[in-house]
Amino acid sequence: MKNILSIVAKQTKNNQTNAQASVVFVVDKNLKHHFVNEKQLKEFDYKGEGVFFVQETKTLYIGIERIDSDCLREAGCAAVRYFKNLHYENFKIGVYGDDKCMYALILGMYLGVYQFDKYKSNKKEGVLKQIFIVNEGYDKKFKLPEEDLMIRAQIVAQAMSDVRDVVNMIPYEATPEFLAKWSKQIAKTHKLECNILGKKELKKEKMNAFLAVNRASVNDPYLIHLSYKPKKAKTKIVLVGKGLTYDCGGLSLKPSDFMVTMKADKSGGCAVIGILQAVASLKLPIEVHGIVGATENMIGGDAYKPDDVLFSREGKSIEVRNTDAEGRLVLADCLSYAQDLKPDYLVDFATLTGACVVGLGEYTSGIMGYNKDLKDRFETLALQSGELVAQLPFNKHLEKLVESKIADICNVAGSRYGGAITAGIFLGAFIRKEFREKWLHIDIAGPAFVEKDWDVNTYGASAAGVRAGIEFINDIALRG
């Protein structure tokens, strides 16, 4: 979706900005705020909670707990959603908090316009076109947001909207080939390199685990390799994404109810593509590669089977006991390819396990890896970006569970407990010693697809991983 909303910051004196409506945040139920018409609100018995619109003054009051990034991002989104389908072309809003707060507020407002109506006959055109951020002299301690901060929010929101659009697309359209074409398009617009490996090249690369997952699909697999190489970059980050454009489970077929939403099994791959788009637009001074393993996991006479043994690119043999644990097979080969690029940091994003959703709930992504400092760093930055994350620790007892009697490793663990971690441990077995401390695995299975609106997310794809990934890369670019 192209963002049609324009947000402008204006320094004006008392009530000089003519807008059709105003938004006022009521902080911690405090109706004594400068902007608040206390008497009027009391008359309506509004106590500073939730959303309340006063027709006479065309003012929308939104209660927030406190002035911080998380509250403002969510409230900004709520304000836009409120006006989106009404007949207001614009509204004005004051300045709340420091730069970080204002960035979150602006990002939330951009995300509020998102809607996915590609398959609706009646597309509702939003009327809301413009938001004025004004500092009408009420609050001297806050300053208007700078231009670059506003552009940054717009770039991140645009990447998220694009990722949501593609993840929301039906599997009949959003095929591996489509992801490859989309990547090429982004590469052209943002001057990235884009290298696409088809079936022939994947065979040459000995990516037999990846190829086995694809076997029963009528759609060819593609490995997408996007690279952003600015001059004088000192650090190299390689991102890897699971791009399953559909996961029916294969011969270990999913029950019907679990199959619905599996078009979103490409979320990790799409997030990686979106992050590359944003990193290039932001012109971050760091080398970033995005590698996406794009395929379907289907069923048919040619399907790979439980009992098969696959010979991966990294040289390890894999016993297949469940064809629905396909993401780790695709990622094993993609991570192998990624390590040849000699990254300083290697991060994969994947909707890898239902167990991660059971363990952490549907709002939180799992962070795994061998390097505690790196996990801590990613956790802090992801939370700062507005994404919920938590660490899931490996241990030597769980490590034993992926042993196989007939091959080097088994694609499912011997116990159903700790399934998110044992999947992470499986991936870890394909990470060479020299990259163990540089690698992170992010399981986004929970938040990637939203069944009920929450925070800045509306029904459908959320673009999980995009904000966290950009924040992480930006921090590495700044501090190494």
Query: Phi first, then psi: what are they for 281, rounded to 5°?
Result: -65, -35
- Asked if 443 interacts with ligand BES (CB under 6 A), we say no
The residue within the footprint of ligand BES, chosen from 265, 348, 387, 471 (CB under 6 A), is 265
- Asked if 296 interacts with Zn ion (CB under 5 A), we say no
Q: Is 247 helix (H, G, I), strand (E, B) or coil?
A: strand
- Asked if 126 interacts with ligand BES (CB under 6 A), we say no
- Catalytic pick among 10, 181, 206, 254: 254
Q: Is 42 a catalytic residue?
A: no
The answer to whether 217 and 298 have CB atoms below 8 angstroms apart is: yes
| Residues 11-50 as x/- pattern, contact with ligand BES by CB under 6 A | ----------------------------------------
Ranges of H-type helices in 295-353: 327-339
- Burial tier of 220 (Cβ tally within 10 Å: 0-12, 13-18, 19+): middle
- Asked if 327 interacts with ligand BES (CB under 6 A), we say yes
Pick out the residues of the known binding site for Mn(2+). Answer: 242, 247, 265, 324, 326
> Buried (b) or exposed (e) across 269-282, using 16+ Cβ within 10 A?
bbbbbbbbbbbbbb
CB closer to Zn ion, 326 vs 348: 326
**Which of Zn ion, ligand BES, none has residue 72 at its interface (CB below 5 to 8 Å by kind)?**
none
Which tokens go with 452? 């009920």
Query: Phi first, then psi: what are they for 384, rounded to 5°?
Result: -60, -35
Which tokens go with 236? 């190299």
Question: How many CB atoms are closer than 10 A to CB 14?
Answer: 8
The residue number with the shortest CB distance to ligand BES is 354
| Residues 404-433 as x/- pattern, contact with ligand BES by CB under 6 A | --------x------x--------------
Q: Nearest approach, Cβ of 223 to ligand BES (angstroms)?
A: 18
CB closer to ligand BES, 184 vs 254: 254
Pairwise CA distance, residues 207 & 335, whole Å: 11
- Catalytic pick among 236, 328, 438, 467: 328
For residue 148, give every residue at least 6 positions away whose Cβ sits within 8 Å of its Cβ, in sequence order, or none: none
Number of residues that bind ligand BES (CB under 6 A): 16
Ranges of H-type helices in 11-121: 38-43, 69-84, 99-112
Using CB under 6 A as the binding rule, the residues of this chain from 284 to 323 that contact ligand BES are 322
- Piece in contact with Zn ion (CB under 5 A), picked from 77-85, 301-309, 322-330, 394-402: 322-330
Q: Nearest approach, Cβ of 258 to ligand BES (angstroms)?
A: 7
- Asked if 348 interacts with Zn ion (CB under 5 A), we say no
**Which of Zn ion, ligand BES, none has residue 286 at its interface (CB below 5 to 8 Å by kind)?**
none
The answer to whether 302 and 250 have CB atoms below 8 angstroms apart is: no
Find, among 399, 395, 420, 418, the residue nearest to 409 by Cα. Answer: 399
**Which of ligand BES, Zn ion, none has residue 412 at its interface (CB below 5 to 8 Å by kind)?**
ligand BES
Find, among 165, 179, 164, 166, the residue nearest to 223 by Cα. Answer: 179
Q: Nearest approach, Cβ of 244 to ligand BES (angstroms)?
A: 6
Which helix (H) or strand (E) is 421 found in, with range? helix 419-428
The answer to whether 3 and 157 have CB atoms below 8 angstroms apart is: yes
The residue within the footprint of ligand BES, chosen from 214, 351, 457, 458 (CB under 6 A), is 351
Pairwise CA distance, residues 157 & 386, whole Å: 13
- Asked if 327 interacts with Zn ion (CB under 5 A), we say yes
- Asked if 445 interacts with ligand BES (CB under 6 A), we say yes
Q: Is 254 a catalytic residue?
A: yes
- Burial tier of 42 (Cβ tally within 10 Å: 0-12, 13-18, 19+): exposed
Question: How many CB atoms are closer than 10 A to CB 83?
Answer: 23
**Which of Zn ion, ligand BES, none has residue 94 at its interface (CB below 5 to 8 Å by kind)?**
none
Q: Nearest approach, Cβ of 344 to Zn ion (angstroms)?
A: 29
The answer to whether 306 and 284 have CB atoms below 8 angstroms apart is: no
Q: Is 251 helix (H, G, I), strand (E, B) or coil?
A: coil
Q: Is 446 helix (H, G, I), strand (E, B) or coil?
A: coil
Q: Is 288 helix (H, G, I), strand (E, B) or coil?
A: strand
Query: Residue 440: what residue type?
Result: L
CB closer to ligand BES, 387 vs 471: 387
- Asked if 462 interacts with ligand BES (CB under 6 A), we say no
- Asked if 247 interacts with ligand BES (CB under 6 A), we say yes
Q: Nearest approach, Cβ of 445 to ligand BES (angstroms)?
A: 4
Which tokens go with 285? 């001074």
Q: Nearest approach, Cβ of 356 to Zn ion (angstroms)?
A: 12
**Which of ligand BES, Zn ion, none has residue 445 at its interface (CB below 5 to 8 Å by kind)?**
ligand BES
Q: Nearest approach, Cβ of 50 to Zn ion (angstroms)?
A: 38
Q: Nearest approach, Cβ of 270 to Zn ion (angstroms)?
A: 14
Residues that bind Zn ion (CB under 5 A): 244, 247, 265, 324, 326-327
Residues annotated as catalytic (active site), given as ranges? 254, 328
Binding site for ligand BES (CB under 6 A): 247, 265, 322, 324-327, 351-355, 357, 412, 419, 445
